[in-house]
Amino acid sequence: MKIIIVGCGRIGSALALRLSTQGHTVSVVDPQREAFNRLGENFRGRMIDGVGFDRNTLLRAGIETADALAAVTPDDSSNVIIARIARNRFKVRRVVARLYDQHHANQYQVLGIQTASTAAWGVDRLEQMLCAPDLAEAVTIGSGGVEIVDLHLPPALDGQPIEHLQTLGELIVVALTRGGVTTLPKPGMRLQIGDLLHLGVPRGTLSHLREALDHAGKEVVA
């Protein structure tokens, strides 16, 4: 994947090193060149000095072909601005903004921006948000007949009531993570871009669920 990380502080540098080591193409943006010293000599990606919400800086970082972007500067407002530019202007598919104040997280979720709490979420969780497949097995429970799978909500299901998921096949919505908070589903709850759904499905049906999701997306396009 081509990933841009804006902010080369403690979290940003650790995330960049992790992703680069895994073989991703990583570009790190920071206005202070000395911040790149945190990356060390083993970093294989690109270092772009500049302001993260400047269009030319983002273009130099390769945002036109980026698969994901993480805005992890020390400033919430800057992170949200950067994330909105990436999502709305350049149509980057996966965008994460680190927020110190989570009070407005749900508003950003509606805009298709995932948010991460500095206090609760570390590099592992940010990596998962940026790189995890849209639909992936999380754990097998009990005797092995049921799997819990994680589904990053596809755009085709944005705004649908949570009950609509039942039309995709045999499944149960176990929980929903939105704005970094995991809750039990409530009847009539509307799905939003950025939602992470935790589904219980019969073992061996993951491919069928993936086909149903692909079909739902094609229906919306048509």
Predicted local distance difference test score (pLDDT) of residue 31: 96
The domain locations on the chain are: 2-131, 135-221
**pLDDT tens figures, 56-83:** 999 999 999 999 999 999 998 899 999 9
CATH number attached to the domain at 135-221:
3.30.70.1450
- Of 98, 94, 91, give the one whose Cα is nearest residue 131: 94
Intrachain domains 2-131 and 135-221 with the same fold: no
Superfamily of domain 2-131: NAD(P)-binding Rossmann-like Domain (3.40.50.720)
| CA atoms within 13 A of residue 154's CA, in its CB half-sphere | 19
pTM above 0.75, yes or no: no
Predicted local distance difference test score (pLDDT) of residue 112: 64
